[in-house]
């Protein structure tokens, strides 16, 4: 009983602790940046840069002052494959092996994008350098590095595989089949049955079994990355459009492979009056692509916005602090409270977005193979609610 | 932010496909199978429990029917016993009455017989006496007339005494 009562308190204390820790690390990171660039100009707080740096992908992990270098793998048609650790770049201050990590400071310092109609160089990207040591955007470089998003995603993959195969072994040994499920099994089982009974069965009908592995994988992959992404200092994997694009692509391919002639008949010969048909056909064709596109944007925007809001609240403390130290201290409890609130909200959103993605995927797949006859008697075919 | 890097997409795609394959083969399949088995087991258990319950109910009703029948039989037997008892008693009474009547009639017959015998005896004695008296009278007739009459008177008195 005591342990049960203590648990929420401990969780709250821990959450607050890591929030404060992230706060400190942010402050220190800020100082670090300032030290790197602050030689020639006076230190200035740039919240949008800080926030975008935190939510974007990167070639190293930052935990306060500790930096964990990650492997860089590059391919260039001219130079072939190259691999080394990101520490060789020394945070973008040095070129290595003919490549350079072009930072924002470097672009500003060397005025790389000046006089160009379109910015030639993007910050925090790796470019090949020519013989004189200057970055050359004309040499194409394919960056296959194990960035922090990749590393974290691979960790989540390994975690999922370990957790799920262990649970599967437990089931195979009879626990949870003849007896009640035990341990972590009982935490995962309701989610699996939820996905089966609330997501797959209502939308996919009798053939739900075929899609269960896909839906479960999508759900848990998004969920675990959402949750890991909430740990301060961790990468924001689900808030990166590459991640959501891959999932949307998979969903699109599965939808296409599940489609039957009713689906295509509905698109190319919609059950509307002839005149409207010519308006509806392009709309329906667009609809094929907007569905996965909406999946991609929804997850990406939801996850990145949560992180941005949390970081913005923390940055506000420093903005006020820059105006007046006491103002900064005075407003910090308020902003911390808001941060905790959004943080808890994000914990909820982590589950909701995983559910929405899996559910909408199931709905779209279901629409692709359901018979056309249900639609003919329903005037104005209704699309599912898209949040 | 909105232009994803090709490398990241490739890694994500590979990771997802590997995850889908491994989990699909080694996790979801056994888990879903086990869940299905368990649900079937539960459904079967419930069904069999229901069946057993129905059987129990049937058994109970059968038992009750049996009990009711037994009770009825017992009542029947008791009734029969009572009837038999009464019949025996009645028969015994009848018998007794018959016996008694017979005894009484026998007794009456015997009395009658004895009475007849006594009467006969009396008649005989009367006759004898008459004869005796007549003899005596006849013997005395030869003597005195007055004495004769006295004597007859005496004799008559003697008879009276009897």
Stretch (H or E) spanning A67 = strand A66-69
Long-range pairs, A171-178, Cβ under 8 A, ≥24: A171/B30, A171/B31, A171/B33, A171/B34, A171/B35, A172/B30, A172/B34, A176/B34, A176/B35, A176/B38, A177/B34, A177/B37, A177/B38, A177/B41, A178/B38, A178/B41
pLDDT of B141:
64
pLDDT of A16:
62
A189-211 pLDDT, tens per residue? 999 999 999 999 999 888 888 89
pLDDT of A11:
65
pLDDT of A26:
47
What is the pTM (predicted TM-score) of this model? 0.72
Q: Is the distance from CB of A146 to CB of A71 less than 8 angstroms?
A: yes
A250-294 pLDDT, tens per residue? 999 999 998 888 888 888 888 888 888 888 888 889 989 999 999
Q: Which of B5, B41, B45 to mutate to test the interface with A (most CBs of A within 10 A)?
A: B5
Q: Edge-to-edge, what's the strand order for the sheet holding A135-136?
A: A99-102, A125-129, A135-136
Contacts of A193 in chain B (CB under 8 A): 35
A3-30 pLDDT, tens per residue? 566 666 666 666 665 555 554 444 444 4
* Tokens at B81, concatenated: 């016993």
Instruction: Tell me the C-alpha distance between A78 and A98, whole Å.
Output: 12
Contacts of A150 in chain B (CB under 8 A): 7-8, 11-12, 15
The Cα of B74 is separated from the nearest Cα of chain A by a number of Å equal to 51
The answer to whether A217 faces chain B, any CB pair under 8 Å, is yes
Maximal C-alpha separation, chain B: 197
Q: Number of A:B CB contacts under 8 A?
A: 126
Query: How would residue A387 be classed by pLDDT, with cut points 50, 70 and 90?
Result: very low
A350-376 pLDDT, tens per residue? 999 999 999 999 999 998 888 654 444
**What pairs with residue A67 in β-bridges?**
A62
Comparing alpha-carbon positions, the chain B residue that sits nearest to A157 is: B19
Half-sphere exposure of B85 (CA within 13 A, CB side): 6
Q: What is the three-class DSSP state of B64?
A: helix
Task: Reply yes or no on whether the pLDDT at A113 is more than 60.
Answer: yes
The answer to whether B161 faces chain A, any CB pair under 8 Å, is no
Mark which residues 68-107 of B lie under 8 Å from A by CB. Answer: none
Handedness of CA A170, A174, A177, A179 (dihedral sign): negative
According to DSSP, the β-strands at A99-102 and A80-85 are unpaired
The Cα of A173 is separated from the nearest Cα of chain B by a number of Å equal to 10
Listing DSSP states for A318-337 in one string gives: HHHHHH-HHHHHHHHHHHHH
- Calculate the dihedral angle through the C-alpha atoms of A76, A78, A80, A85, rounding to the nearest 10 degrees: -50
10 Å Cβ neighbour count for B114? Answer: 11
A296-309 pLDDT, tens per residue? 999 999 999 999 99
Contacts of A247 in chain B (CB under 8 A): 16
Mean pLDDT rounded to a whole number for chain B: 88
- Calculate the dihedral angle through the C-alpha atoms of B128, B131, B133, B139, rounding to the nearest 10 degrees: -140
Task: Reply yes or no on whether the pLDDT at A88 is more than 80.
Answer: yes
**What pairs with residue A100 in β-bridges?**
A127
Stretch (H or E) spanning A133 = none
Task: Reply yes or no on whether the pLDDT at A384 is more than 90.
Answer: no
End-to-end CA distance of chain B: 170
A27-85 pLDDT, tens per residue? 444 444 433 333 434 457 788 888 887 888 888 887 777 888 888 888 888 888 888 88
Q: What mean pLDDT comes out for the span A159-169?
A: 92
The answer to whether A119 faces chain B, any CB pair under 8 Å, is no
Contacts of B41 in chain A (CB under 8 A): 177-178
pLDDT above 70 covers a percentage of chain A that reads 84
pLDDT of A20:
53
The answer to whether B40 faces chain A, any CB pair under 8 Å, is no
Mean pLDDT rounded to a whole number for chain A: 82
């Amino acid at each position: 009983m005591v342990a049960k009562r203590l648990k929420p308190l401990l969780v709250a204390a821990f959450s607050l602790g890591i929030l404060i820790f992230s706060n400190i690390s942010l402050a220190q990171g800020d100082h670090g940046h300032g030290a790197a660039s602050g030689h020639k100009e006076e230190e200035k707080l740039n919240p949008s840069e800080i926030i975008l740096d935190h939510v974007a992908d990167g070639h190293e992990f930052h935990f306060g002052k500790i930096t964990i270098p990650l492997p860089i793998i590059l391919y260039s048609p001219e130079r072939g494959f190259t691999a080394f650790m990101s520490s060789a770049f020394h945070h973008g201050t040095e070129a290595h092996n003919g490549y350079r990590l072009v930072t924002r400071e470097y672009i500003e310092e060397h005025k790389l994008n000046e006089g160009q109609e379109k910015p030639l160089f993007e910050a925090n990207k790796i470019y090949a350098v020519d013989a004189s040591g200057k970055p050359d955007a004309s040499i194409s470089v394919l960056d296959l590095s194990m960035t922090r998003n990749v590393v974290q995603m691979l960790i989540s993959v390994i975690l999922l595989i370990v957790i799920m195969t262990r649970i599967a072994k437990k089931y195979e040994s009879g626990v949870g089949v003849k007896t009640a499920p035990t341990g972590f099994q009982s935490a995962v089982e309701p989610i699996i049955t939820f996905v089966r009974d609330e997501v797959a069965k209502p939308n996919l009908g009798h053939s739900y079994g075929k899609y269960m592995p896909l839906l479960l994988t999508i759900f848990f992959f998004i969920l675990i990355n959402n949750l890991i992404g909430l740990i301060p200092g961790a990468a924001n994997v689900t808030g990166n459009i590459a991640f959501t694009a891959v999932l949307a692509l998979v969903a699109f391919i599965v939808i296409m492979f599940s489609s039957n002639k009713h689906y295509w008949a509905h698109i190319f010969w919609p059950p509307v009056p002839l005149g409207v048909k010519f308006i509806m056909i392009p709309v329906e064709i667009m609809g094929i692509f907007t569905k996965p596109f909406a999946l991609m944007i929804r997850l990406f925007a939801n996850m990145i916005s949560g992180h941005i809001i949390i970081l913005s609240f923390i940055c506000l403390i420093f903005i006020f602090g820059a105006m007046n130290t006491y103002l900064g201290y005075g407003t910090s409890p308020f902003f911390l409270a808001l941060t905790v609130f959004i943080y808890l909200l994000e914990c909820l959103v982590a589950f909701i977005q995983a559910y929405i993605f899996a559910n909408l995927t199931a709905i779209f797949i279901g629409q692709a193979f359901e018979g056309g006859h249900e639609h003919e008697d329903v005037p104005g075919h209704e699309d599912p609610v898209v949040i | 932010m909105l232009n994803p890097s090709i490398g990241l997409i490739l890694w994500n795609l590979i990771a997802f496909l590997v995850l889908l394959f491994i989990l699909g083969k080694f996790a979801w399949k056994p888990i879903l199978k086990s869940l299905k088995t368990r649900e079937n087991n539960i459904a079967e258990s419930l069904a069999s429990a229901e069946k057993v319950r129905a059987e129990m109910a049937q058994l109970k009703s059968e038992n009750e029917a049996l009990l009711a029948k037994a009770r009825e039989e017992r009542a029947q037997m008791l009734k029969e016993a009572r009837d038999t008892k009464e019949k025996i008693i009645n028969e015994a009474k009848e018998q007794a009455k018959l016996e008694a009547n017979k005894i009484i009639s026998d007794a009456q017959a015997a009395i009658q017989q004895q009475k007849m015998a006594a009467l006969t005896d009396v008649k005989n004695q009367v006759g004898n006496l008459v004869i005796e008296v007549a003899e005596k009278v006849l013997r005395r007739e030869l003597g005195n007339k007055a004495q004769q009459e006295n004597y007859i008177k005496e004799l008559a008195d003697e008879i009276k005494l009897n």
